[in-house]
Structure 1
């Protein structure tokens, strides 16, 4: 009997009501954590009223009467916008990620690595080294965070906790501490470390080919770099110039901490070794993809339309969501000695202060120096002791317990030699390097598992980098910036400078170890794993800050830093593996051409240059591709060759511009990826496989001049010896077939952006293992992008894994020293982590299109741009 119409209507109504209730519940859960950004809130801990003005993109500008209130309020607004990101970061840096997310893929492994290194232990040791005012600011920031989080459940702080709570049981949110802020500096130092992966790849490549000379062809020396260094030669250093490995600090406190770290009986001595499972979580900042770097340059007023300097910066980091950076302005209502801050720029959620930006007088940008601050030491270990200078020295050990939400605890034993933790215990690639790395002829025999591998890293020494951040934020001139630079330990940064008095400059920073000269493989440069049993390979101090490269007002009125070699004479002591300089050369060429033509540089020109998408290597490679004969083996018919030539014709006359809609760029990059695979995959292990990037531009550029190099030969066809032209022809053919399958048969319809896409994913809830409806809330994209690896617009990709974007210009800024309010900035995504805040991805579209937003910083401009005002007022704790 048919159901009465009224019954069907009722059933449908019930379904709709249930659906509406479910949707409403989701909306409530998503909107519940959204912070109040206007009105007045009384909070305990403030000394006086604080104003927080937010613009159309939710960027906060904070005004306070004293610095403690200023950083208190910064902690408060960071917690409003990004607390889950902050909590995630502190769990990562403490080796407690599995405690937050459960037995998620990679979590326990990451914890094992970070616990082995002991990042948090080092941060705890740093706190007493810092200036009293720095410690006060860190405490004030923590108090501000806790003022916001106190009394709120996890679900009231972020919908991410609500989603995560369906998988694991979440306890109450812990109070924030100053050490939580300091520990994030270790994560950034890890993300920006240099040479670690190159050193590992050298060992792996040697294990495969057994020829040091062939391996060195894959790691061109600085002399093979293109373009100009950052500054002129400053002379060379010798080991006699060694100094303490730590910056100056209170001698008594410093001596106590150093002694504690050096004492084998102290558990902090094992802090060196948690390095290896973190790349998937933070982005492999070793430079292996060629994507982690930065551009920064300054143009003096003699070349600008305004007559005052311009400064640009765009740090290249792993793509992340929420963004790596959080924009903020921090302003004392009356700037004086007691409250010296009037600074605006990019901060890290979870850490007080501004990292990159400008004060009322100076502007600065950062690029990574690429200094070699890590060394891998091969250790001959037997019976719990490592051989050193002919004697068996006992290893230090400790047990770490990793708690896993919803699972069983995992206990690990951390072993350390005098050089640092035995990372080979937790990193399979390092264990393989211990079996493969070349050693001197008189080396002691390795054990059945090879040599153990220890890590020495300057970031595992406590230092005063946090002091440097606040010193920069109060800087008024060049001397102030140099003083701040002297306090940096890690990550070492190239500081590009400009000020309102008309000067521009450059200063290298960071603690860089000195290595003893000698004839041993990599002895003076740290390019290969080092024999830990031989003291001649030990560090002998650090480069004195007075000898670090520096220049003020260079004669040509330009400073360009894009991770290239810094000076011709100095670089062997900084690194043997700088970026080979293609980005730096392109930036300098564009600026010099404009200057030579007599066209004054404007902020628009600086912004356009940040979005320059010309591939510098295309000029080298394309002529060889156009001349390469196509395969004529039995599988390559005349029709197949004509089919391939149709695609090859895209490259004829192409100017190397890699816009998202470019067909030639799509084919060129497919050919480049295929060429790397055909040339090297048969001879190199996974660790040493090319991912693309500037080093491989140089390597392949040199091989193109040697058509019979053994690298061209395919080791899997022993009866045939392949040459350069054969490999080039096969790359052209295979790339044509690949793009036909993915983009269609007509090459004219191909578009680079359809291959080269950016998808932003939140670290935990954006993972593919998360149900799609939940994942969608913490995912942005895909966005079709132009640019490529090692271009000025460095939207990088891994040539081993496809064309998806892995690293990006994480923000862009142009500072106009003639009118600071005419400056401009853009973040990768937005200031908020809350999906329905309106500010989680409201900058992504502009960023992808190469646009920026106005950057107000003076009081009048900030007031004019304000859309919301939140007033924080003191509340006594007795008032409840």
Structure 2
């Protein structure tokens, strides 16, 4: 079987280029899927007429008399705008990506991982657990999708099918089902899976350096003393986020965790297996359109301000979840309203939905607004399993593994059959992910561990998302909330993924942490009670002991200072951390400090102030790193000439007096981040495998901030030069020189002409047809940009980049919204791109320019405001009787 992309997408889209040489033919094929947005259409199954009003950007407001009609119409509208995205998502979540896109190795790899995890199997088990009305709404949504799809050829649904269908072996478009919608929740949970990557990186790093204490230095665990909790209590203050990373001693190894040397396997280099694992994770994130795109610090910002501090006298809320770059964008704006709101039809909810799933995930009702941030709760653990003859060792007994065979259909190639094995802890993911197999050979284990054998230990994944739950009930419950009590009741249903919901109503602000969070037994083994390291699966002392009751999860309403700030930091000052791998708190401290400053000055906070704070681009770590850089001597004894040092000083002059702001036109920001990238490379590339290499986010700010206080740390030393021991100052000086040379090649010889945005660019690419290898005439229909952006991963304007792979934006605020609970039509919102996926639609990218400039659009919510903003009106009517 061919495993090259040229045997897949490249060949087939090349045929498309030949077939569509005539411009007129391209126009016809691309315009054909554009939906009807005005007039009247019949929608089978409706009990009465439904209005679909669209504003200047094509954002729909759906108005119905009946909740089933409401969600049936939402399914119809989603299919009008985004059906290919929906179909792609269900192929990803079912492990059927190769069936759609062909014989691309990364697609087959993704399918193997998803089949091993069993996302769709779990979704199928969840459906009967849901409330009856939830199942009814899911079916109504599916019926609406199918009503749009029925009678339309693939080419009439999306131009993407026209491109893919050139092969002639495109699978038929299947009917939408409720399980297709539920399975998307598994993709969300995977993307927000907390410390899976850190746990894997710990094992890989240990395999490389063989020292637990050194590895622990790479994973500092923030406390509430390091960063402000979500709500301040008596005695809590906002920390000085810029200087705190250098505070405190370097972490030492737990004496109880002195473990045996790693099981070495010279035939399997760690770096090579690390790259294989990273590719699988990256492709899942890419096709799902939710993950961090390989960047450290996936998260979000959300905050609420009490009415005592606002211009309107009512609470305000702001939110901007951070997700991987995706095109079409991850979210789809919508307003769902019952004409007469009642117990029978309780919905008047607007905000951001997922195409393929009914309801609104982030948004507002007339009485309540909410946004969400990832709690970072550690909801997964890797378990090392001693497997022999089809059984795993558990408490001294051999327990047979569960097995099943999965067949992956591959368009244009032979099917691939795999055997999925599971222990009592979960699927043996090491069978599908090479780096996990390497971790099974190299992870530290107790001295009393049973012998692993030549292949090492198998690695199972225990993850709360693999237990069927009722999270879909929460989506509909949130869409009908009217106050704090029913908001908390709705939040209690959101088991996976766990989130921090920031709340505002007409008089109060608050927050609630949600999710199924495992309880780990207390013990002295390495990572036993905090889940930071792979765990011995043969020892029941490492098993989970239930989950944290919802009543014990952090929550607060009406804080004394009237401020709620959530940016993935630890939630409370005195409660236990939900994870040891939380965000380090730079964004949270910056947001809270800005709000506190305005409150102390007595200036009422406005919608415009909230929106401006979302675009804050100051990098707080510059206060730590820049002084160290400016005091570091430039290289002199390694052949670097005086002329080269003068050449470098032209660039370092940019950093003197720089305020840390990172707009697109900043020369100082361009140099600063180039230096930062080189500091990370020079410090860690020689000792860490690829899967553990620094991506440059907040964790690495803290790591390097602490190392700056230890100039002779072994991390500074270059392991490839055993005869020379490098120190901090040598690394910093060399980074200054190397960054100067790098930007000279990329941006020109004059540092004053450099611009951060020329490096830090956002390109929107369709996950299938906008990628490299697709011929340019086709690719151009499924890409947008590039546009130049400011910001960076650990600033409030969190436009993340991955220091391992360049400066392009890989994750970003996937939406921005601001709500004023005192004026329902004063809100603001913006999406990264637009509501439509169709290349010829005016609403495919009509929000991108405003987004890139840090702007947003008016968000009409009241019936009067929506009517005034409407530009198109489509009436959906029931099929005539008889």
Match of 1:427 in 2: 433
Match of 1:547 in 2: 552
Match of 2:362 in 1: 356
Q: Is the 8 A contact 1:113 1:275 kept in 2?
A: no
1:405 to partner: Cα distance? 1.1
Residues 732-811 of structure 1 aligned to structure 2 (within 5 Å): 732-811=736-815
Match of 2:879 in 1: 875
Which of these residues, 439, 443, 465, is aligned with residue 445 of structure 2? Answer: 439
Match of 2:87 in 1: 87
* Alpha-carbon distance between aligned partners in 2 of 1:62 and 1:277, rounded to the nearest angstrom: 34
Q: Is the 8 A contact 1:290 1:790 kept in 2?
A: no
Q: Is the 8 A contact 2:285 2:293 kept in 1?
A: no
Determine whether 1:303 maps to 2:309.
yes
* Alpha-carbon distance between aligned partners in 2 of 1:65 and 1:761, rounded to the nearest angstrom: 39
How many residue pairs match? The answer is 820
Determine whether 1:632 maps to 2:632.
no
Q: What's the C-alpha RMSD, in Å, of the aligned pairs?
A: 1.5
Residues 287-326 of structure 1 aligned to structure 2 (within 5 Å): 289-326=295-332
1:820 to partner: Cα distance? 1.2
Q: Is the 8 A contact 1:834 1:840 kept in 2?
A: yes
Determine whether 1:564 maps to 2:569.
yes
* Alpha-carbon distance between aligned partners in 2 of 1:226 and 1:853, rounded to the nearest angstrom: 36
* Alpha-carbon distance between aligned partners in 2 of 1:540 and 1:180, rounded to the nearest angstrom: 32
1:285 to partner: Cα distance? 3.3
1:857 to partner: Cα distance? 1.2
1:44 to partner: Cα distance? 1.1
**Residues 502-548 of structure 1: per-residue CA shift (max 9 Å, x gap):** 10001000000000000000000000000000000000000000001
TM-score (norm 1): 0.92
Which of these residues, 498, 510, 521, is aligned with residue 515 of structure 2? Answer: 510
Determine whether 1:654 maps to 2:651.
no
- Give SS of 1:821's match: coil
Residues 374-453 of structure 1 aligned to structure 2 (within 5 Å): 374-453=380-459
Q: Is the 8 A contact 1:343 1:358 kept in 2?
A: yes
Determine whether 1:155 maps to 2:155.
yes
Which of these residues, 846, 853, 857, is aligned with residue 853 of structure 1? Answer: 857
Q: Is the 8 A contact 2:289 2:330 kept in 1?
A: no
Determine whether 1:694 maps to 2:698.
yes
1:226 to partner: Cα distance? 3.1
Name the CA shift for 1:225/1:736 in 2 (closer, same or farther; >3 Å). Answer: farther
1:289 to partner: Cα distance? 1.6
Residues 92-131 of structure 1 aligned to structure 2 (within 5 Å): 92-131=92-131
Match of 2:584 in 1: 580
Name the CA shift for 1:793/1:668 in 2 (closer, same or farther; >3 Å). Answer: same
Determine whether 1:533 maps to 2:538.
yes
Q: Is the 8 A contact 1:276 1:423 kept in 2?
A: no
Match of 2:11 in 1: none
Match of 2:28 in 1: 28
**Residues 415-437 of structure 1: per-residue CA shift (max 9 Å, x gap):** 01110011000101101111111
Q: Is the 8 A contact 1:33 1:834 kept in 2?
A: yes
Q: Is the 8 A contact 2:218 2:703 kept in 1?
A: yes
1:104 to partner: Cα distance? 2.1
* Alpha-carbon distance between aligned partners in 1 of 2:201 and 2:638, rounded to the nearest angstrom: 37
Unpaired runs of 5+ in structure 2?
A: 1-17, 235-279
* Alpha-carbon distance between aligned partners in 2 of 1:583 and 1:283, rounded to the nearest angstrom: 23
Q: Is the 8 A contact 1:322 1:832 kept in 2?
A: yes
Determine whether 1:723 maps to 2:727.
yes
1:223 to partner: Cα distance? 3.0
* Alpha-carbon distance between aligned partners in 2 of 1:694 and 1:537, rounded to the nearest angstrom: 29
**Residues 737-767 of structure 1: per-residue CA shift (max 9 Å, x gap):** 0001110111000000000001110010011
* Alpha-carbon distance between aligned partners in 1 of 2:714 and 2:292, rounded to the nearest angstrom: 28
- Give SS of 2:335's match: strand
1:292 to partner: Cα distance? 1.6
Q: Is the 8 A contact 1:42 1:873 kept in 2?
A: yes
**Residues 343-380 of structure 1: per-residue CA shift (max 9 Å, x gap):** 00000000000000000100000000000001000001
Unpaired runs of 5+ in structure 1?
A: 1-17, 235-273
1:332 to partner: Cα distance? 0.1
- Give SS of 1:40's match: strand
Q: Is the 8 A contact 1:830 1:839 kept in 2?
A: yes
Q: Is the 8 A contact 2:522 2:528 kept in 1?
A: yes
1:790 to partner: Cα distance? 1.1
* Alpha-carbon distance between aligned partners in 2 of 1:540 and 1:587, rounded to the nearest angstrom: 37
Which of these residues, 711, 715, 719, is aligned with residue 711 of structure 1? Answer: 715
1:275 to partner: Cα distance? 7.7
* Alpha-carbon distance between aligned partners in 1 of 2:20 and 2:93, rounded to the nearest angstrom: 41
Residues 826-845 of structure 1 aligned to structure 2 (within 5 Å): 826-845=830-849
* Alpha-carbon distance between aligned partners in 2 of 1:195 and 1:468, rounded to the nearest angstrom: 24
Q: Is the 8 A contact 2:440 2:459 kept in 1?
A: yes
* Alpha-carbon distance between aligned partners in 2 of 1:29 and 1:609, rounded to the nearest angstrom: 43
* Alpha-carbon distance between aligned partners in 1 of 2:183 and 2:335, rounded to the nearest angstrom: 23
Structure 1 residue runs of 4 or more that deviate by more than 6 Å after TM superposition: 18-21
1:279 to partner: Cα distance? 3.2
* Alpha-carbon distance between aligned partners in 2 of 1:147 and 1:569, rounded to the nearest angstrom: 53
Match of 2:245 in 1: none
TM-score (norm 2): 0.92
* Alpha-carbon distance between aligned partners in 1 of 2:72 and 2:410, rounded to the nearest angstrom: 33
Determine whether 1:70 maps to 2:70.
yes
Match of 1:165 in 2: 165
**Residues 688-732 of structure 1: per-residue CA shift (max 9 Å, x gap):** 100000000000000000111111111111111111001000000
Q: Is the 8 A contact 1:67 1:339 kept in 2?
A: yes
* Alpha-carbon distance between aligned partners in 2 of 1:297 and 1:73, rounded to the nearest angstrom: 32
**More displaced, 302-311 or 222-231?**
222-231
Match of 2:210 in 1: 210
Match of 2:247 in 1: none
* Alpha-carbon distance between aligned partners in 1 of 2:221 and 2:73, rounded to the nearest angstrom: 48
1:683 to partner: Cα distance? 0.8
Name the CA shift for 1:81/1:543 in 2 (closer, same or farther; >3 Å). Answer: same
Match of 1:139 in 2: 139
Name the CA shift for 1:380/1:317 in 2 (closer, same or farther; >3 Å). Answer: same
Q: Is the 8 A contact 1:197 1:286 kept in 2?
A: no
Q: Is the 8 A contact 1:795 1:809 kept in 2?
A: yes
